[in-house]
A and B are shown apart, each in its own frame.
Chain A
């Protein structure tokens, strides 16, 4: 926690400085390919984070957007299945896979085209289409946007742990789409349409920040084995990176991913809004394990609109 943060916390506590929060921890693990080694990699990742999921209901939320099989739009099903197996082995009471795509209504057709049925046994039994799930009205705590209430799927609201599993991609409206932006897929199209335009009108950065305040128990697993650069998140080109980036603090995970992509995380609007403290974004405020950023960073091509995001 920064000095300023400690001072503020002390003021809130009536003058007694609060104990500084543990710095967020992000791990960067090399994963060169979508192959069977991912299963062991994922188990080691979970163990290294010391996540206790025994008896908890886990919901894995990948990113499914379009049917294009030859591109790197969607979270790879092998990454999702490796996570599924790892959480089950770690004692989770249940592991579901859930997503609410924002462009195409036929979610299971999309999942089939993305290879999920082939890779994940009994996929349809495990899957929840968040666009069509029963919903509950919630009021975002952060209130960064003008949205005073959201109707959100019961499956994610009731999750013991919500695991955001995005692709590592650039984004043509907000610069980068990672574990935080991925949670747009929890907003149901059955209520908000395809796309979920209400979120765009209320401010994408602001809504990304609001969604972070709604789900208290989160973990992020970023599929950076092959990401997307250029005109992401759909029309970009594949960018091999060979990494899986994980952590319990989505702001810190996304800030780390940005650095890997050579994007300045301080210029990503939703990171600044959602960070409880600047140290969540600052490299020196994050405990980095595994590979160093310097050893794996590779600049992602940016559309002209976002040239200013490039890290020096």
Chain B
């Protein structure tokens, strides 16, 4: 899908669907980033206007207008920066991210587990991370996106509270690394049975662990390089490129293999964003 096709996919309300139909927050944010990296500001501005109309009273964003709950997509929206979504809205979104943790590390849940005699914590409470939806557990995907968002904000306006959440989130990711290298969406060994890593979540986690040196990162990079050579999923390749590039491990002049099909707005958008970043125009880090 080209930039022109991406523009044609824009809904009348200014947002984008995942493939067809109504507008969703995630594809809209990614389409905006992609079109801005291509210099297409008019459709991007309409997308921003749609996003601004969606903000909820708690400062977060829902996955789409009809859903009356803020979710992980709030982190994606903050990547657009205060100049676009508005300084107050951006500030409140960052606050929402700082206030959101996986349910399993909340005081109430831990107290309840203690009352029930469950001694083994689900997650290390020192390392709260991020869920898909508040009231549920933390996972690799939303945690990685939240770290990207907070890291960008911390570089713009450093704050100790933001730094603490980034550091804790990264410790969460390191604790979730698969023994063989890489990350799947959650625990490396659910119910004691080792689970294999996924290419897309490996890429996400590596992107969030930018600048971190650790054995888990080394093994993750080795896994990512293997996935990059084998994978034909557009979504996975996008994230692998991101994760490898920020660690200086994306092969110079890398081109996605022929035959990779970009089926969704996020897949196309992220490809455009990654390509621009690899050419020095990084819309995510700024």
Contact = CB atoms under 8 A, between A and B. Distances in A.
Interface of A: 103-106, 108-109, 129, 132-137, 151, 172, 190-195, 197-198, 200-201, 231, 234-235, 303, 305
B24 A190 contact: yes
Contacts of A192: 132-133
Given A106-B233, A191-B67, A201 B136 contact: yes
A291 B234 CA distance: 45
Contact of B235 (A109, A136, A201): A109
Interface in B169-210: 184-186, 190-191, 193, 195, 198, 200
A198 B133 contact: yes
B131 interface: yes
B63 A108 contact: no
Contact of B195 (A104, A151, A235): A235
26 contacts: A103-B185, A104-B200, A105-B235, A106-B200, A106-B235, A108-B261, A109-B234, A109-B235, A129-B19, A132-B18, A132-B19, A133-B21, A134-B21, A135-B67, A151-B67, A190-B24, A190-B63, A191-B71, A193-B71, A193-B141, A194-B139, A195-B139, A231-B191, A234-B195, A235-B195, A303-B191
A174 B261 CA distance: 37
Contacts of B242: none
A191 B185 contact: no
B200 A197 contact: no
Given A105-B200, A109-B233, A172-B191, A197 B64 contact: no
A191 B195 contact: no
A134 B235 contact: no
B264 interface: yes
B135 interface: yes
A193 B236 contact: no
Nearest to B142: A193
A210 to B, nearest CB: 17
Given A194-B141, A197-B137, A201-B136, A108 B67 contact: no
Interface in B13-34: 17-19, 21-22, 24, 26
Interface in B135-167: 135-137, 139, 141-142
Give me the 7 closest cross-chain CB pairs, A-B, nearest first: A193-B132, A132-B18, A197-B136, A109-B233, A134-B21, A106-B235, A134-B22
B18 A190 contact: yes
A137 B66 contact: yes
A195 B201 CA distance: 13
Given A108-B263, A194-B141, A197-B133, 5 more contacts: A103-B184, A109-B234, A151-B67, A197-B137, A198-B135
Nearest to B137: A197
B123 to A, nearest CB: 13
Contacts of B22: 134
Contact of A201 (B67, B103, B195, B232): B103
A15 B185 CA distance: 55
Contacts of B142: 193
Nearest to B264: A132
B61 interface: no
Contacts of A231: 191, 193
A198 B136 contact: yes
Contacts of B133: 192-193, 197-198
Given A106-B234, A190-B64, A201 B135 contact: yes
Nearest to A109: B233
B127 interface: no
Nearest to B27: A132
Interface string B206-238: 000000000000000000000000001111100
B72 interface: yes
B67 A193 contact: no
Contacts of A193: 71-72, 131-133, 136, 139, 141-142
Interface in B53-84: 63-64, 66-67, 71-72
Interface string B82-104: 00000000000000000000010
Contacts of B137: 197, 200-201
Nearest to A132: B18
B255 to A, nearest CB: 19
A287 B176 CA distance: 48
A67 B264 CA distance: 19
A150 B200 CA distance: 27
A252 to B, nearest CB: 30
A206 to B, nearest CB: 15
Nearest to B19: A132
Interface string B247-277: 0000000000000010110000000000000
